[in-house]
Chain A
Amino acid sequence: MTPATVPALRRGVRLRQDAARDRWVVMAPERMLVPDETALAVLRLVDGTRSLGEITAELARAYAAPEAVIAEDVAALLVDLSDKGLVSLS
């Protein structure tokens, strides 16, 4: 993974609201995942066009945090989501 990597939700994966429980959920074939606050912030920016670098920069701005720290967290999170088969990294 490099800053140019463009993460995307895999086929059949969608972020949606769960109105009954007042939260966001990641829907996927026959399973779902409840993202924590950090994962949700990242997933909202994963649209198949933004690169890892762009996502990191946006989050660094939004949270007024150093990019290097954010970059590490985002990369670790995306690898985890990729291992779970929810996000592709290309």
Chain B
Amino acid sequence: MNAVSAPLALLAELTHRCPLSCAYCSNPLQLAQVASELDTESWARVFREAAELGCLQLHLSGGEPLLRRDLVPLVEAAVEAGLYTNLITAAVTLDAKRIAALREAGLDHVQISVQDAEAGRADAQAGFPGGHVRKLAAAALVREAGLPLTINAVVHRRNLPSLPGLIALAEAAGAERLEVAHVQYYGWALANRDALLPDRAMLDRATEQVEAARARLGGRMVIDYVVPDYHATRPKPCMGGWGRRFIVVNPAGRVLPCHAAESLPGLDFPNVRETSLAEAWMGSDAFNRFRGTGWMPAPCRGCALAEADWGGCRCQAYALTGEIDATDPACSLSPHHGVLADARAGAGDDAPLVHRAQAR
């Protein structure tokens, strides 16, 4: 494999600890232990190596990155490395002093998640009483600090009726950007799929509402929209292709092509404790395993779209078919496409919801 292109962005999962316990959490079912978390100097080294490798953006994520006591020095290290630094937070523990220190450190942007437009429902979703009000206060603090603000709303069967309210919330908060992201079914979300997956009519209504808001808010608020591929006929080019644009480092230092990749069996992902980021990206078998199109079986092999969607998502293909090389069942050409129809039929308002566990 030659001509591996450099990654554009590093997703740094600083911790898997989080005060919330959302049922659609994108963290793996096997959460990284607190004792295994990388220290400040290791992260600073990872940021420098990421910038040298060609990364331009850094997403400080989690879990809840604010639970890292060294978050301010970490932002300083990222900024010094020359990375455009985004903080992805639930924000229930963000106060004026912390946001001032983060701005001073050079933080570029804050993304705050909300679970619903109405406080009671939002707090029930997050498993954190009083959380929603704190988030709105935190959003105001971000505004007052003069930092750009994104409101992130993960949407699903249970909160889609609140979508107009979520759009209004982002407007009222003065956000430059709103991310409306339908749940993607990995980890905790996959375990809760029956309770979270919307039907086609709900999805179409949401898409119409987003389109209308985009037309109304053009030039004021950008709306990014992520659709659920369980209603698709072509798969998403997950992460822009395996090992092509994104590099993820998890709390324990493991280097991954996406945050769910550890769910795949038989891949030995490198760790920054033992190797450089460049070596992990360029040289590791795990990163090279699904690069390009050579690994693809039919119907991906020879498909005109092979380099458009890169065979879809490896984690989803494995989760739904048990084979890591299989075409993503989101593709109608996949022999397993029917499992998505089965999943849609299995979803309902009465399905139970299991909240994510806490990292220890």
| B-binding residues in A (CB < 8 A) | 10-12, 14, 16, 18, 20-21, 25, 27, 29-32, 82-85, 88-89
Q: Which residue of A lies closest to B177 (CB)?
A: A29
Among candidates B56, B86, B147, B222, residue contacting A84 with C-beta atoms closer than 8 Å: B222
- Other A-B contacts than A11-B146, A25-B56, A30-B111, 10 sampled, CB-CB below 8 A, are A11-B147, A12-B108, A16-B56, A18-B54, A20-B6, A29-B148, A32-B84, A84-B222, A85-B222, A89-B219
- Is B147 a contact of A32 with CB atoms below 8 Å? no
B interface residues, Cβ below 8 angstroms from A:
6, 8, 53-54, 56-57, 59, 84, 86, 108-109, 111, 146-148, 150, 176-177, 179, 218-222, 224
Q: List 10 A-B contacts (CB under 8 A).
A: A12-B109, A14-B84, A16-B56, A18-B54, A18-B56, A30-B150, A32-B56, A85-B177, A85-B220, A88-B219
CB distance from A31 to the nearest CB of B (A): 8
- Report A56 CB to chain B, min CB distance, Å: 20
Given known A-B contacts A21-B6, A83-B218, A29 and B111 have beta carbons under 8 A apart: yes
Q: Which residues of B have CB within 8 Å of A16?
A: 56
- What B residues does A31 contact at CB under 8 A? 224
Complex contact A30–B109 (CB within 8 A):
yes
Asked whether, in the complex, the Cβ of B57 is within 8 Å of the Cβ of A27, the reply is yes
Leading 10 A-B pairs by shortest Cβ distance? A12-B148, A20-B54, A85-B222, A29-B109, A11-B148, A27-B84, A82-B219, A12-B109, A29-B148, A83-B218
Q: Is the CB of B54 within 8 A of A11?
A: no
- Which residue of the partner chain B has the closest CB to A85? B222
List chain B residues, Cβ under 8 A from A25.
56
CB contact between B8 and one of A32, A82, A83, A89 (< 8 Å): that residue:
A32
Closest to A29 in B: B109
Shortest Cβ gap from B116 to chain A (Å): 22
Task: Given A29-B86, A32-B57, decide whether A10 and B8 contact each other with a Cβ distance below 8 A.
Answer: no
Complex formed: what's the CA distance from A12 to B147 in Å?
7
- Expressed in whole angstroms, the Cα–Cα distance for A18 and B148 within the complex equals 22
Cα of A43 to Cα of B222 in the assembled complex, Å: 19
Nearest A-chain residue to B8, judged by Cβ: A32
Q: List, in ascending order, chain A residues with CB within 8 A of B224's CB.
A: 31
Contact: A12 with B176, CB < 8 Å? yes
Contact check, B176 vs A30: say whether CB atoms are below 8 A apart: no
Residues in A neighbouring B148, C-beta threshold 8 A: 10-12, 29
Q: Chain B's nearest CB lies how many Å from the CB of A23?
A: 11
Distance in Å: Cβ of B211 to nearest Cβ of chain A: 14
Q: How far is the CB of B343 from chain A (nearest CB, A)?
A: 29
Residues of chain A within 8 A (CB-CB) of B179 are 30
CB-CB under 8 A from A18, the residues of chain B are 54, 56
Q: Which residue of A lies closest to B5 (CB)?
A: A21
Decide: A21 near B54, CB < 8 A? Known: A29-B86, A29-B108.
Answer: yes
* Docked CA distance A11–B103 (Å): 13
Q: Provide the bound-state CA to CA distance between A61 and B329, in Å.
A: 56
The distance in angstroms between the C-alpha atoms of A45 and B177, with both chains bound, is: 25
Contacts of A20 in B (CB 8 A): 6, 53-54
Query: Chain B residues with Cβ under 8 A from A27's Cβ?
Result: 56-57, 84, 108
Chain A residues with Cβ below 8 Å from B53 are: 20
> Does B176 lie within 8 Å of A29, measured CB to CB?
yes
The answer to whether A85 touches B6 (Cβ under 8 A) is no
**Nearest Cβ in chain B — how far from A64, in angstroms?**
32
Which residues of the partner chain B approach A88 to less than 8 Å between Cβ atoms?
219
Question: Which chain A residue has the least Cβ–Cβ distance from B111?
Answer: A30
How far is it, in angstroms, between the C-alpha of A11 and the C-alpha of B108 when the chains are bound?
9
A85 x B54 contact (CB < 8 A): no
Q: Of all chain B residues, which has the CB nearest A89?
A: B219
> Once the chains bind, are B59 and A30 in contact (CB under 8 Å)?
yes
